[in-house]
Amino acid sequence: MIKYKKVDNSNDNSCETLQIPGKSDDSRQQIDVTKAIELFHKNISVRPEYICTCCDQSWYRSSVTECNVSLYKSCSKEILNICLTGLKSIDNTEWICGTCHSNLKVGKLPSCSKANKMTFPEKPEVLKNLTLLEERLISPRIPFMQVRELPSGGQLSIHGNVINVPADVNTTVSVLPRPINESQTIPIKLKRRLGYKHHYQFQNVRPTKVLDAAQYFGFALVKYSRTKEYK
């Protein structure tokens, strides 16, 4: 049974408070904390699964609206035809994000739309299945950073500065052994400095994969022509 109780304040103004028999302040606070924890786990279990028909990005439900062509009367048919692709995701519905929606309502082409050439290119076959060290060998910048685990939550965080070490890809390619077989691998150690005794990373690298990937990026074109002569 719920009872109401009048509480007199110092300024002689009275107010009514709700009291539940058998429920103390500590127990109510414990219930609130439990509900907050359940709500937190429910929210983090939801992923950005709603795909925008205009920019092709994944969003949460709160960031998208159902696409309705009648709302974009200020937009030309040409822009609508190239922006609204008819892509459907969750609930077999065409969704659009808030940014693209606001731009189309005023007749503007969204800056992040696929129609504005903001598409994610497909990864070429020559760059697929590369190991971490093989990617470093063809990179003109090798970043070094210190990643630590935070004390609460266990999330990873960068500690200190991020150092970008310039690397000459042509020099890296020129020191690879020749001739090279497709199945040949060589052990390579990556150190932060040559004077260090211990290595930062150690893997068996496939020279053919490194050469093909470097050729794709346009490095060492002359050396590749020489490399093909050895095959």
Q: What is the pLDDT of residue 144?
A: 81
State the amino acid at position 161 in one-letter form. N
C-beta of residue 84 within 8 angstroms of C-beta of residue 53 = yes
Phi and psi torsions of 126, nearest 5°:
-70, -20
Residue 106: pLDDT band (50, 70, 90) is: very high
Tell me: the pLDDT tens digits for 116-158? 988 877 888 888 889 989 988 888 888 888 888 888 777 888 8
What average pLDDT does the chain have?
80
pLDDT band at 93 (very low <50, low <70, confident <90, very high): very high
Of residues 193 and 96, more confidence is placed in: 96
pLDDT above 90 for 3: no
Which pLDDT value is given to residue 39? Answer: 87
Phi, psi for residue 164 in degrees, rounded to 5: -100, 115
Among 212, 230, 183, 176, smallest CA distance to 221 is for 212
For 162, list phi and psi in degrees, rounded to 5. -100, 120
Radius of gyration of the chain, Cα coordinates, nearest whole angstrom: 30
Q: Considering the entire predicted model, what is its pTM?
A: 0.53
Residue 55: burial class (beta carbons within 10 Å; 0-12, 13-18, 19+): buried
